[in-house]
Structure 1
Amino acid sequence: MNEATPERFPKMSFVGIDGVLVRFGAKMCDAANAAALAFHQHIEKIALVGVLEAAPSLTAVFLRLDLDADLERLVHRISKEVDAKNWFEDPLEKRRKWTIPCSFDGRQLTEAAQLAGVSDAQAVAQITATEVRVLTLGFAPGQPYLGSLDSHWDIPRMDGIAPNVPACALVVAVGQLIIFANEAPTGWRHIGQTAFRCFDQSRAEPFAFQAGDLVQFQSATPSEIEALQSDRFGGAKLEVLS
């Protein structure tokens, strides 16, 4: 029996009447995510006339097209941009880095650490030492999926759902971290608490994160996090890299 021919990426497909999806992988991995984000940065930079919106996901970029444009010519141009270089080898431009205080006192820190095969102290040391990337935003306004952690942090989600995790909570599963934008139920394990608001309508730019941002957590005490609640960014510092 012949083995199935593996899919080749990137791959373009049409979505609805005005969308093009450019996929860089069949499942999430750092290489596919970095390629998708690099292509998204490129599309934003060249500002193609007729592309109304470009939105990245974990492994793809969705382009919404102007139906009044010459669609045949526009799709041909997008295809040329997709084929212009090897996006898997094109370095992702590092534009911004967030440093975010976090108290690692979540009720499931010990459980998550045990699943990862480390102590609580080792878990905190490893997570704070790792510079993670905003892989994509989703589930709630401005909410980031951050990764990837080392492979031993590829721990499963819980069998059940925790009824409520507070806003600004740090949770972990499948080698990734999330800062919760709102109080919500989740199957991810709650390991820490920040005062960082991912989304705030009172800010000039309500979404704090951009896909591709770098993030590093800084260990803090619960009292320090409490004192940062009145800070618009929860004590986080933003460094512009380029």
Structure 2
Amino acid sequence: MADLDVLRARFVRTLEAARGPAGGPDPDPYADDLLGRWQEPQRRYHTVAHLTAVLDHIDVLEKYAHDPDVVRLAAWFHDAVYLPDRSENEERSARLAERALPEAGMSAAKTAEVARLVRLTVGHDPADDDPDGQVLCDADLAILASPPSAYAAYTAAVREEYHFVPNDAFRAGRAAILRQLLDLPRLFRTPYGASEWEATARYNLTAELEMLSLPPDVPS
């Protein structure tokens, strides 16, 4: 289970570093608002555990980023609005960042960059000259390169979030997402992600897609 006090402290350090010597209001209320969002009851995969994992992966990849603290703030906001039955979660999360960060003391330029990065997680397809986008997207997709048991837990949690979707419709929708990911020339854009995660992630995605292609009554 994620340690909320540790997460809160991580947010405070990140916000203070990102907004610089000019400072701003107490970061704790902003951290608490975000942590409350990440603990909403409809979440099964997009939880504080996912947030923690993304932040940890950014720590691994930060040497590739232009502004690691802006990337970390984008991670905090990237699924801050999450309703499984809505399709505009990333846009609503970006707009939340655009409202909250200026109030918290962030510059207009850095706020705009956080929002841009959040919107980039819709397709996870950053440009070759976008190191911050590459780091965020790689960190968000790193779950795809998990060992078999962790990958199975991830897919089960995603299914739980979409419990209201009939099985056939879920399988078709999930398969479409997997194909979209597999069609990307590269899942991971940082050198570390490409060397350490790409092959395993493609194996996991392909195996899941093959399983979804089986008739539901065929044992897998």
Specify if TM > 0.5: no
Q: Compare CA radii of gyration and give the structure with the larger one.
A: 1
Per residue, is there more strand in 1 or in 2? 1
Q: TM-score when scaled to structure 2?
A: 0.29
TM-score normalized by the length of structure 1: 0.27
Higher helix share: 2
